[in-house]
Structure 1
Amino acid sequence: MAPGVRATFHFAEAAGGIVPSNAQLIGYSPRVSIPAGQVETLVCDKPWTPLYVAGSHECLVVEVSCPADPLQYSFRPDLDRHVGQRNMTILEPKGPALSSTLILANPFAYEAVTTLHLRSFAVPNAERLLGFGLHVRPADVLLHADDEVLAGPLEALGLEVIDVEPGDYLWVGEPDIEESQAGGYDEETQRQLLGRRDPEHDFGPEAARVVLPPATVARVKVGAEPGGMQGGALVHRLTQVTDGVDVGGYALLSPCQ
C-alpha cells in the first residue's frame, strides 16, 4: 500500500536544463492511497491551456511521491524515478513554428562555462511511418530514432538512421545573458550532477558557448529550416554542458521538403 500519493504538475519554457525558477506550477492532484500492485490516474486540480508565443515550446514536468516514498531530486528525471518530463511544441493557429528560444541555465553556485553541443542524424523514407496505426506520433518515433531500443522496430519498417553533418538545415544564434536568477539546485543535487562529469565524453561539435555567473540564465535562438531529403527527416539533438556536466538537452526536427 502506498498511502497519500500526490502528483505535482509544472511547465517550463524550452530549456537545456530545467531549474526551479524556470518552472511554473500548474497544480496538484488530490492525495490517494494506492493498493499494492494497482494503478491510479492522478488528475491535476487545475486545467492547463498552453498559450502560443512565437516559437513556443513547453516542457511538462510531473512529480509523483508519497510520505513513505518521497521525492529527492526535483525536476531531474535522470536522477529521480519520481519525476517525468514531456516536451511539447505549441503550434501557431496558422501554421507550425520553426524557431524557438532555448534557455541555458547555470545550476551551480559558481561561475561556469556553458556550451551547447549538436549532433544530427537523418532517417530516409521517414514517410513510411505514416499509415501504420502506431500508438505514438511519428514525430516522437523520429526524435528517438537513434535509441537502440527502436533499432529492431525501425528495421522491420525498412528504416535506418544515418549520421549527417551536424547543423544541416539548423541555425543557432548567440547566447544572450539575462540578469534574472536561475534559482540553482541545492547542494546535494549539485553534488550528484558533478559526480557525472566525464572529461573524456564526446558531446559532439560545439554550437554555442557562454560564461554564466552563478545561478543565471542565457537565451539562445534556435530554428529548424525546411529541407533535408525527399520523404526523409533530419533530427538535431542539442546538449547543454555546464562545467563539463551534461545538464540536459533538446531535440529539433527539420521538416521534409
Structure 2
Amino acid sequence: MASAVVCAAIVVSAARCMAGDGSEPAVQPVPHYTLQELRGAFTPAAAMGEGFKSETVGWKFPLCFDKLSKFPGTAKTAAHTISGDIRGTTPDPRRREWAAEYPDAASARRAFETLDRGVSCPPTQSVPRIERDEGGFTPPSEHRWRREGGTVSGWTQLRTITRVDYGRVGKAAMTTFRVQDFLLRGNAVLVIEISHFTTKPGDDSETVVIGTATRQVERLLSRVPEDRTLGPG
C-alpha cells in the first residue's frame, strides 16, 4: 500500500509535502507573475461594449466607505478604470482594477494580510448630510456592508459588498452598490471593484451586481497566465 502523503497547503511560499515514509518532501511550484502579465489581464473597454472607455485611475482604493489605501509594502503597481454612460441617465457599472507585483510570495502575503486587517467596517452606518467645500452637498445616507472569504481559480479571495441608500433630493433618490474583491496568489495581489448606481433599485439589484462582479473576476483571472514556474517564496 502506497504511503500516505501529509501536505500542508501554503499559498505564499513553496508548499512542502512530507511523505509518510519520512522521505524528502516534494516542493510544489508557487506562481510568480510579472506586472506586465497582470496588467495584460485587465478588462478591455471593448469587452464592455460600445460607449465605454478605459482610463488610468488613482493608486488608492477604498477599504471601508471613504477610507482609502494603497498597496502596502514595496511593489510594482498598475491600475485602470472602465466607465460609460451610454443611456444618458443612469451610469452603467463602473469597473476599477488594480494589480501589484511583489518581489516574492511572502511579501505579497504580508501585504494581503495588512489589507485584510484594514477591511473592517461597521455592518450599518448612518451618515448625515455632508456640505462640500466646492459647493453643493451629499445627501444623508444609510450604509450596509458585509465581507465574505474563500478561493476562486486558485486565488485567495476576500470580497466586500456595500450598499448605500441616499436620501431623496427633489424627486430623485439614488442607491449605489459596490463589490470589491481582494485576491492573492503567489507574488501577486489584485483588487477588482464594480460599482453600480441606480435610481430604481429592485429587490434583485444587489444579486445582479454581485453576479456581474463574480463574472468579472472569473474573466480577469482567466486571462492571467497559468503555466508558471517556481518563484521565490
TM-score (norm 2): 0.25
Higher helix share: 2
User: TM-score when scaled to structure 1?
Assistant: 0.24
